[in-house]
Amino acid sequence: MYGIYPRSWGYEVSIVRNGTRYFKQFGRASYGGDQQALRQAQDWRDGVVRSVPPVPRRDRAEKLRINNTTGVSGVFCQVAPGGKVRAWVAKTYIGQDEILRTDFPVNTMGEAAQTLAIEERARQLDRMDGLAKLHPAEEAIRTSPPAFAPEQLSNKRSKSEIKRSTNSSGVSGVHFKAPNPGHPGYWLAITYTAGKGSVSKAFSIKEHGAEKAKLLAIEERERQLEQKLVHMQQAAAGALSIPYLQEPRQGARPHGLAAGARPQQ
């Protein structure tokens, strides 16, 4: 779960690399459940870890700190109580059990003490290799093959394919509607496409019966989604020669929709 944070709606990935934050959200509804949302989050995180590795340890060690006054990282001076420089020091953290440090007293080396400290710091840095270690999982992720094969990852659902909490059919885009309490109602299939608006078709329970009306609406929804996919592929290719499902003419009502009833998305 390195870099992955559970949320009430799914998972959130947040990783910082060299001052840049890589951030993305994966909702359960968008991927059809918790397992797929988590897999997508892990796969995206692993991609970031592999493609944007941490900086080399030496690069990070050479970065000047805010309180550095010498202009050289890892080199600082020791000051006597009277404010006079007593010594120049070169210090490098190599590992948990290895810290290199050499002091160059000014009273014995004079003005050359600072130069000697800078040269010593360069020698110390030559012993530093590898990448900065940000988390124990980092190296394992970078060196291991992808955790999931492409067929184990589902595509993100479009907004029209996500089943809302108010859905009454169990199928996204298929809803039961009743204009008033005494009306038998109808099942409505509706699909929205960006740039094209929505297309809908209703199936009256009075005409078809409850079960058949619902089944017809589900079949119609599948047909609408197929048409939507064709339209999206054509738009991506820049060829929109095949018309998308036409919206009902102004003033007309969908098949089986009672007069006065208004389809809702």
- 9-41 pLDDT per residue, tens: 889 999 888 778 999 999 887 787 889 999 999
Phi and psi dihedrals of 250, rounded to 5? -60, 130
Q: Do 93 and 187 sit in the same domain of this protein?
A: no
Summary mean pLDDT of the chain: 80
Q: Do 64 and 122 sit in the same domain of this protein?
A: yes
Q: Residue 162, class by beta-carbon neighbours within 10 Å (0-12 exposed, 13-18 middle, 19+ buried)?
A: middle
Q: Do 96 and 190 sit in the same domain of this protein?
A: no
Segment among 44-48, 77-81, 119-123, 136-140 with least mean pLDDT: 136-140
State the Cα–Cα distance between residues 10 and 41, nearest whole angstrom.
Answer: 9
CB count, 10 Å around CB of 93? 14
Q: Do 63 and 188 sit in the same domain of this protein?
A: no
Structural domain including 31 reads 4-53+134-152
Under 8 Å between Cβ of 117 and 104: yes
pLDDT at res. 163? 56
pLDDT at res. 159? 59
Sheet holding 197-204, edge to edge: 174-177, 186-193, 197-204
Looking at the DSSP bridge assignments, the partners of residue 6 are 11
Query: Is residue 265's pLDDT more than 50?
Result: no
Q: How many domains does the chain have?
A: 3
